[in-house]
């Protein structure tokens, strides 16, 4: 794949990552790869994995690593850019280890949008985007999976000094100011 520059975005569902991803793409020229969007597109394509992906998403479970990695690799190869913002993956330690093993890539750094479960739930229920996973039952399952599976990945990257923690409860503009500090030439960090 050549030299790629990318970073991961970690946060619970509803913490505002979609808004911040759009800002990062616009200001820094990264190609945004959303694992969730790639999985939903694959589900809707009628592929052989579509039904399995649909069932996993509906249950708030994590799709097998090999499926998501193949979708990410395909998306990377379909663009001329060498800077990627990957959100929603890896979701657990197995995802992380598999991705790094298959691609040989580690993130430059990891943005962690810190937001309370109550605030994320409020945001998810109010966004009304017609997504089947924006209902209270699935949201609770997604939070449980996030707490059990994704937080250990954040801890792993934090132990390597790669995590930049951002308070995602602040207004959108303030959150993006904190994001911009992470991209500053000095490699500005936000206390983790």
Q: Is 144 annotated as a binding residue?
A: no
Specify the 3-state DSSP secondary structure of 133: coil
Q: Is 103 annotated as a binding residue?
A: no
Q: Is 95 annotated as a binding residue?
A: yes
Q: From its phi and psi, is residue 89 left (phi > 0), alpha (psi between -120 and 50) or beta?
A: beta
For residues 66 and 98, the answer to whether their CB atoms sit within 8 Å is: yes
For residues 168 and 87, the answer to whether their CB atoms sit within 8 Å is: no
Q: Is 127 annotated as a binding residue?
A: yes
Q: Is 179 annotated as a binding residue?
A: no
Q: Is 15 annotated as a binding residue?
A: yes
Q: Is 61 annotated as a binding residue?
A: yes
Q: Is 31 annotated as a binding residue?
A: no
Q: Is 140 annotated as a binding residue?
A: no
What CA–CA distances, in Å, run from 53 to 28, 48, 90, 147? 31, 10, 16, 21
Q: Is 19 annotated as a binding residue?
A: yes
Q: Is 88 annotated as a binding residue?
A: yes
Q: Is 187 annotated as a binding residue?
A: no
Listed as own residue / partner, the contacts of 130-136 with beta carbons closer than 8 Å and 24 or more positions apart are 132/57, 132/58, 133/57, 133/58, 133/60
Report the b/e string of 91-114 with b at 16+ CB within 10 A. Answer: bbeebbebbeeeeebbbbbbbbbb
Q: Is 16 annotated as a binding residue?
A: yes
What CA–CA distances, in Å, run from 115 to 16, 72, 171, 179? 9, 26, 12, 15
Which residues are known binding-site members for CMP? 95
Which residues are known binding-site members? 14-19, 40, 61-63, 88-91, 95, 127, 131, 142, 170
Which residues are known binding-site members for a ribonucleoside 5'-phosphate? 40, 61-63, 88-91, 131, 142
Which residues are known binding-site members for ATP? 14-19, 127, 170
């Amino acid at each position: 794949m050549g030299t790629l520059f990318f970073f991961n975005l970690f946060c619970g569902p509803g913490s505002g990552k979609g808004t911040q991803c759009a800002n990062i793409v616009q200001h820094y020229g990264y190609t945004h790869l959303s694992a969730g969007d790639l999985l939903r597109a694959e589900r809707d394509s009628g592929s052989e994995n579509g039904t399995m992906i649909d069932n996993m998403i509906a249950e708030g479970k994590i799709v097998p690593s090999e499926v998501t990695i193949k979708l990410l690799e395909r998306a990377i190869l379909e663009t001329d850019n060498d800077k990627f913002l990957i959100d929603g993956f890896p979701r657990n330690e197995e995802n992380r280890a598999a991705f790094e093993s298959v691609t040989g890539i580690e993130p430059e750094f990891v943005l962690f949008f810190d937001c309370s479960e109550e605030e994320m739930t409020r945001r998810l229920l109010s966004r009304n985007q017609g997504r089947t996973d924006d209902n209270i039952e699935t949201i609770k399952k997604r939070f449980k999976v996030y707490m059990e599976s994704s937080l250990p990945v954040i801890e792993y990257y934090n132990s390597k000094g790669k995590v930049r923690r951002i308070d995602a409860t602040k207004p959108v503009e303030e959150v993006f100011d904190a994001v911009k500090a992470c991209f500053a030439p000095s490699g500005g960090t936000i206390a983790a």
